Chain A
């Protein structure tokens, strides 16, 4: 392109930065804010009573069974032919049933219910807000659905290209790092850009690459599509879970979920916090009961392990599949993908590490702005 490799890379660094830097800046800044999405939500709802507890506790079995019954009743009335139901059971910090379902337009709907009466909860005392979660959607899809995910992906690849070309451009990377000329206009901005870029370089590579890896099968489906009939059969093999049950279009009603929950708790030796039903109303319906996630266990562990789950035939009640709490289920390579996912999303991190990510993120955003 230009006379030599370094000049080509300088050109590439400049132009990819100019065209996509603004978008990357937005992604970076919102991503940085995402580190503290939960605290932001709490800050936006100061009227909410905080239960000061490190570990949220589930409500006792009797209350959860009641909640489950109301949840199921609501879904049966509202969305009998939905593709998917979910029921989150009440805990000390969330004293309500949260039901979710897929409506006719394949959109996901949710509602909060009083677990004693089953009435819709229009909570007047706590304002309704997406809170910090807004930034999460801004960060990975720019509130633009699949198009947004592709745009973020393209910008992230451009970022990897800019990082590599940036390193090539700065041959005196060590010396440049210690150079800062104040009050020299453009030169000062560039020195700041170099210092911040070099300082956060490992973080920048890690965060960009792991971000892409979260959506690997969306961004790079070639390998999956060349070797499997569809994504579902691939995921069944990767997650080592029983194959997806196709709809049979034969009407059949879902059993009361209460007894299934009790059976699952016995099997897992753990409180169930969440139940879901796939294809309710069809003969192929399955119900899954998930054990509560153990946050203490997952702290400082890169491989996040869930609280186990039991899957039932929702029409006959037959047990189909069980995964015990804190056990790994899935292929070996999936572990690598999950760890990279966790490195990006920080499920394992305590506040010290979150602050380190936050500062690195701000430094990265400043690097883009000064460039």
Chain B
């Protein structure tokens, strides 16, 4: 149980942070390189917050679910924005 939760924190949290910065880079104005760099600078705070959250919820399943859901949400939103941006 603890092992699953640690994995949710380490791997799930990393995936979530990665997806989050991809989305953030789409939202931050300015040049692409600036947006990517700024988003990446936030990533360590996101990662920390994600790990804290994983260890605060009631069950490991919920922790995994939360990580995967937010990761998918961020990544999906980023792709959507990219598509819209590409079309416009």
User: Which residues of A pack against B, CB within 8 Å?
Assistant: 1, 5, 8-9, 11-12, 154, 157, 160-161, 164-165, 209, 212-213, 216-217, 219-220, 222-224, 226-228, 234, 237-238, 331-334, 336-337, 340
The answer to the question of B80 belonging to the interface, with a C-beta cut-off of 8 Å to chain A, is: no
Instruction: Identify which of A237, A331, A332 gathers the most chain B CB atoms within 10 Å of its CB.
Output: A331
Instruction: Identify which of A217, A222, A234 gathers the most chain B CB atoms within 10 Å of its CB.
Output: A222
> Does B41 contact A9, Cβ atoms closer than 8 Å?
no
Query: For residue B40, which residues in chain A have a CB less than 8 angstroms away from its CB?
Result: 216-217, 220, 223-224
Closest B residue to A1 using CB positions: B55
Known: A160-B48, A237-B32. A223 touches B56 (CB 8 A): no
- Extra contacts besides A209-B45, A219-B43, A220-B40 (6): CB < 8 Å: A9-B55, A9-B56, A222-B43, A223-B43, A333-B30, A337-B37
Cα–Cα distance between A9 and B48 once the two chains are bound (Å) = 13
> Does A234 contact B44, Cβ atoms closer than 8 Å?
no
> Does B55 contact A220, Cβ atoms closer than 8 Å?
no
Query: For residue B33, which residues in chain A have a CB less than 8 angstroms away from its CB?
Result: 234, 237-238, 331, 333
> Does B18 contact A220, Cβ atoms closer than 8 Å?
yes
Cα–Cα distance between A160 and B37 once the two chains are bound (Å) = 21
Query: For residue A8, which residues in chain B have a CB less than 8 angstroms away from its CB?
Result: 55-56
CB of A12, distance to nearest CB on chain B (Å): 5
Cα–Cα distance between A5 and B18 once the two chains are bound (Å) = 26
Instruction: Select one of B18, B35, B44 contacting A222, CB under 8 A.
Output: B18
CB of B86, distance to nearest CB on chain A (Å): 13
Cα–Cα distance between A164 and B57 once the two chains are bound (Å) = 16
Instruction: Select one of B18, B19, B34, B51 contacting A331, CB under 8 A.
Output: B34
> Does A226 contact B34, Cβ atoms closer than 8 Å?
no
Query: For residue A209, which residues in chain B have a CB less than 8 angstroms away from its CB?
Result: 44-45
**What would 21 A/B residue contacts be, using CB atoms closer than 8 Å?**
A9-B56, A157-B44, A160-B45, A160-B48, A164-B52, A165-B55, A212-B44, A213-B44, A216-B37, A216-B40, A219-B44, A220-B17, A222-B19, A223-B18, A223-B22, A227-B22, A234-B36, A237-B33, A238-B37, A333-B34, A337-B41
Query: For residue A212, which residues in chain B have a CB less than 8 angstroms away from its CB?
Result: 44
Cα–Cα distance between A359 and B22 once the two chains are bound (Å) = 39
CB of A164, distance to nearest CB on chain B (Å): 6
Query: For residue B34, which residues in chain A have a CB less than 8 angstroms away from its CB?
Result: 238, 331-334
Instruction: Identify which of B22, B35, B44, B47 gathers the most chain A CB atoms within 10 Å of its CB.
Output: B44
CB of B17, distance to nearest CB on chain A (Å): 7
Within 8 A of A (CB), among B20-71: 21-22, 24-25, 30-41, 43-45, 47-48, 51-52, 55-58
Query: For residue A234, which residues in chain B have a CB less than 8 angstroms away from its CB?
Result: 33, 36
Query: For residue A9, which residues in chain B have a CB less than 8 angstroms away from its CB?
Result: 52, 55-56
Q: Binding site of A, secondary structure by majority: helix, strand, loop or mixed?
A: helix
Cα–Cα distance between A165 and B18 once the two chains are bound (Å) = 23
Instruction: Identify which of B17, B38, B56 gathers the most chain A CB atoms within 10 Å of its CB.
Output: B56
> Does B48 contact A157, Cβ atoms closer than 8 Å?
yes
Query: For residue A238, which residues in chain B have a CB less than 8 angstroms away from its CB?
Result: 33-34, 37
> Does B5 contact A223, Cβ atoms closer than 8 Å?
no
> Does A331 contact B31, Cβ atoms closer than 8 Å?
yes
Cα–Cα distance between A337 and B58 once the two chains are bound (Å) = 37
Cα–Cα distance between A223 and B21 once the two chains are bound (Å) = 6
Known: A222-B22, A226-B22, A331-B33. A216 touches B41 (CB 8 A): yes
> Does B36 contact A1, Cβ atoms closer than 8 Å?
no
Instruction: Identify which of A12, A226, A340 gathers the most chain B CB atoms within 10 Å of its CB.
Output: A226
Instruction: Select one of A154, A219, A223 contacting B39, CB under 8 A.
Output: A223
CB of A17, distance to nearest CB on chain B (Å): 13
Query: For residue A226, which residues in chain B have a CB less than 8 angstroms away from its CB?
Result: 22, 25, 78
Query: For residue B32, which residues in chain A have a CB less than 8 angstroms away from its CB?
Result: 227-228, 237
Closest 9 CB pairs of A and B: A222-B18, A237-B33, A333-B37, A223-B36, A333-B34, A160-B48, A223-B21, A220-B43, A333-B38
Cα–Cα distance between A238 and B33 once the two chains are bound (Å) = 6
